[in-house]
Structure 1
């Protein structure tokens, strides 16, 4: 049969895009060239893998089986390539993913440290939501990713980096009124119709809902903003309340000076920031070295927030 990595890569691209044109663009070849490779692949296997429809394609039962195995083979190939690239530690080429509620606040400090410690490292960074990053790590398209736990990690392992606590943010008048209440404000005390959160797919929104004892389906919670910066600007102008992670505080206060924050009483709601990789890459020094550099950068950034908004003493 003698299938090639090119066959498998083109076929997976076709399955994921659902069209020959989309797949050709994804793998940077012409549509006729990709179509020819798929036909050659079917001839070598001896059965049809794709149903060619007027507007799209569908995989046959054989195609579904091939897709499952092709993804595993390609992931193993990428894992092999990564093992060779990073066999001498944190040098060579490395692909790192970071979630959007961490990337703009952590990366400037982290990249400075990484560059200073590893002049021979060529780092490629991708910003995306958690589910997309974990899929890319599992499939070998990324070497590692910075995410917020808890999250389901199938076939991956996580190295905790630091704890990122949530602050309540709103306009100065609104925060002053909440600080003036007799009992300390807890997340479960917040009125749902006053909360503004990130839209579908952002883990920060899910975590905020969880600590408030709310569900995403509740229509009284506004789940429409696409960025943390947008939320901070809105609440600073008096449009509700939101959660700001400590790591974002300095940057968002500079961008939205009208925004004020208060710290919840202990135990404070928080998320654990972690670096994840495939389990098959364990034991490599590049991962522990990278985790240490990112943890140092994150801890420094969060220290600034805790200096500005000190934690409350336990009762």
Structure 2
């Protein structure tokens, strides 16, 4: 015969109080409920665990003294499990994994998460950069709690919210002939050497910026990291077309680059935060809310270069 945790809790309360009536009062139940629970526990073990004395209460038998410690350990483990489950759902502590595919992510992700990490020392954050397709697949596979990604060809099962629209802009060396212009047109770039950010989706996107025009640009370098592209442009090897920019105009190699709006009919990239829907852990929801809140602020506009 099985016995419930509740019956063991009632038995434990009566044994510790030495009284069925006192235990019932503390548990806010009728005495018969406690008496029945004692009967259930004794039946489950096949032993007499307590002696009952009318008007005097109860005392443990010799077998009861052995069994009660095991029951106490079991009830303690059960209550600890419930407590840990509640903390997992409500406390800003624990591990969280965030995947991202975002231009210049290092320019904004630290600003989003640093305040939470400073005020909640129990958080353990893992950040993983990957491409736009893989970041979605790994979210659906359960590797990430949330993702920051470009809202393009979104996988079924991903709930997303737009963070910002980032139109394409032209990046040139501070020494380039276009650096002093207020904006750049596709015609300005005709026959100019180009440094292409060569990543899944982005390379086709940047090539399509010139679709429908007579402009031809010669791709002289392809690089698959944002900062390598910036550093090559800084050496005045050619221009590049990007969508988001860091706060600094200096490259890793110390050269200065200039971002200029591109006056063209080109689609902006939409940056989004995504998750798998449903009720989120409090920690995951806090990270989602912090990400959305950051991009609601004017400071996030400094990440893009757009025509005024």
TM-score for the superposition, normalised by structure 2: 0.58
CA distance in 2, matches of 1:94, 1:284: 10
Report the more deviating stretch, 227-236 or 158-167. 158-167
Question: Secondary structure in 1 aligned to 2:237?
Answer: coil
CA distance in 2, matches of 1:150, 1:185: 26
CA distance in 1, matches of 2:151, 2:186: 19
Say which structure is richer in helix: 1
CA shift at 1:97, angstroms?
A: 0.6
Partner of 1:5: none
Determine whether 1:293 maps to 2:290.
yes
Q: Could you list the runs of 4 or more consecutive aligned residues of structure 1 that deviate by over 6 angstroms after TM superposition? A: none
Partner of 2:176: 174
Partner of 1:111: 113
User: Deviations for 1:36-64, whole angstroms, at most 9, x for unmatched residues?
Assistant: xxxxxxxxxxxxxxxxxxxxxxxxxxxxx
Gaps spanning 5+ residues in structure 2: where? Answer: 1-84
CA shift at 1:85, angstroms?
A: 8.0
Partner of 1:40: none
CA distance in 1, matches of 2:243, 2:250: 12
Which of these residues, 146, 150, 164, is aligned with residue 148 of structure 1?
Answer: 150
Report the more deviating stretch, 218-227 or 107-116. 218-227
| TM-aligned CA distance change 1:170 to 1:284, over 3 Å | same
- Count of residue correspondences: 219
Cα root mean square deviation, aligned: 3.5
| TM-aligned CA distance change 1:190 to 1:269, over 3 Å | farther
CA shift at 1:169, angstroms?
A: 0.6
CA shift at 1:312, angstroms?
A: 3.6
Which of these residues, 96, 99, 102, is aligned with residue 101 of structure 2?
Answer: 99
CA distance in 2, matches of 1:150, 1:188: 28
Partner of 2:197: 198
CA distance in 1, matches of 2:101, 2:86: 27
Partner of 2:232: 234
Gaps spanning 5+ residues in structure 1: where? Answer: 1-82
Task: Indicate the structure (1 or 2) with the bigger Cα radius of gyration.
Answer: 2
User: Deviations for 1:118-153, whole angstroms, at most 9, x for unmatched residues?
Assistant: 443221111111122111111111111111122332
Partner of 1:213: 211
Report the more deviating stretch, 117-126 or 281-290. 281-290
